[in-house]
Each structure stands twice: as C-alpha cells, then as structure tokens.
Amino acid sequence: MNSCIVESSEPVTLIAGGPVLARDLGAALGRAPVLVAADSGADRALALGRVPVAVIGDGDSLSPQAETRLAAVLHRIPEQATTDFDKALRSIRAPFVLALGVTGGRVDHELAVYGSLVRLRPIAPRCIVLGRQDMVMALPPGRTTLRLRIGERLSLFPMDKVTGRSAGLRWPLAGIGFAPTGMVGTSNEVTARDVTLDMDGEGMLLILPRRALGAVLAARPQG
C-alpha cells in the first residue's frame, strides 16, 4: 500500500495514457478540478493543454519531455506488480475520482483497471471510469440507491462471485449467482425512478451511460 501522495478536499480527475478528448477532460475537470496523471497520462494531459498537480507511476511510459517538464511533481513508484492506474488511485485521498484515458486503448490495461476498481474499493476513493459512451464503478456491499431515468440501460458485470437483490429493474437480481464465467447482468432496464442495488459482497461493477454521472455521484450507499 502506498502512502498518500495527493490529498485533496476537492474531487480528482485521474488521466491515464489512453485516448481522451479535450471536451471530455474539460467536462471531468468541471466536476473534479484537481488533475492527477498516471504515468503517460501526463503526456496526454500536456497534449491537451493541461498540467497535472502530480504524476504517479513507475515512469516507464513517460516521455523524456514530460519527465523534464514535470520533474517537480513526478512521484515514482518502481514496483512492477501493479499498473500505474493502481499506483495512482491508491495514492489519492479525495471525495471521489473521475478516471479518463482508461477505455478505448489497450484492452489488457483496461481489464486491469476494472480489477483495481474492485480490489481497491474499500481503501481508495470512490472511482468512476469515464468512457466515450459509458461509465463504470465498483459497487460497495450493502444497499445503493440511484435516481435514474425510466428506460435507462443499466448493466452489471461481476469480477468475482457475488449475489444481491434489486428494486426498480426490469429483471430483478434476487436468486442469481453472478460470476465472471457464469451469469452476468448486461443490458438490464430501469423501470422506476429510484433503483436499489443491494449487494452481498465485493466484486460487482455497475455500468451506466455517461449521462447518468450526476445520479451516480448523488447515489446513497447505505452499507
């Protein structure tokens, strides 16, 4: 476990090295104004005209130009057992983190990020990965209530064996044993404004269209 590198009373935007549009970064910073880069995310940020307050990672994918320019805020974590995203997320203390540059690039990196979301959920800030169309977050155990549009697509993908219950979905979760190589929960549908997801343990990813970000940030975990 890392010591805290970035401690912020404001939410954090974490940028990785995958594709990011300038408008998406600007929108994320509108909600999470502190910019942190995971290794080569620093190059991505600089290319979009933004300067991160910290760069966290092993440094092996950072360009020499970015390394020189951002030397004063570069925090190297040399171990190779985890990804740069993992290193960065567990080094942040903030109300929540919006992550960009994770989707649409290397599939192995993207899958590793989803594993980190679940593994670090109990000890890291709440993190929401923003893709071009969708967003992904790890659900906590216990009850979470979200106010969503009726007809909205809501998907669940288990990273481990997990069970739970729901209210407000076309296909309820009760009685289903979810598992990565078994039953998954893609393309469910919201049937009531208030949706309740009550998970019995760690391991479930929630996937929603990105337009529902406000509802996710306002979600009420009840433990």
Question: Bridge-partner residues for 218, per DSSP?
Answer: none
- Which CATH class, in words, describes the domain spanning 6-132? alpha beta
Tell me what the mean pLDDT of segment 45-70 comes to. 94
Residue 213 to residues 160, 168, 174: CA-CA distances in angstroms? Answer: 25, 18, 26
pLDDT value of position 34 = 98
**Taking 90 as the threshold, does the pLDDT of residue 80 lie above it?**
no
- Measured in residues, the chain has a length of 223
CA nearest neighbour of 38 among 61, 19, 22: 61
CA distance 135 to 121: 16
Domain ranges, ordered by start, for the chain: 6-132, 138-221
Q: 6-132 with 138-221: one CATH topology?
A: yes
Q: Rounded to an integer, what distance in angstroms lies between the CA atom of residue 175 and that of residue 32?
A: 38
pLDDT for the residue 157: 97
Q: Give the pLDDT score at 223.
A: 56
- Please give the average per-residue pLDDT across 126-147, as a whole number: 96
Q: What are phi and psi of 203, to 5 degrees?
A: 120, -10
**Reduced DSSP (H G I as helix, E B as strand, rest coil) percent helix, strand, coil of the chain, to 5:** 25, 35, 40
Percent of the chain predicted with pLDDT > 70 = 97
Closest CA to 17 of 38, 48, 47, 46: 38
* pTM, rounded to two decimals: 0.94
* Fold of the domain built from segment(s) 138-221: Rossmann fold (3.40.50)
pLDDT of residue 129: 97
Q: Is the pLDDT of residue 182 over 90?
A: yes
pLDDT tens, 86-127?
A: 999 999 999 999 999 999 878 888 999 999 999 999 999 999
Angle (CA) 144-178-101 rounded to 5° is: 65
Report the pLDDT averaged over residues 150-164: 97
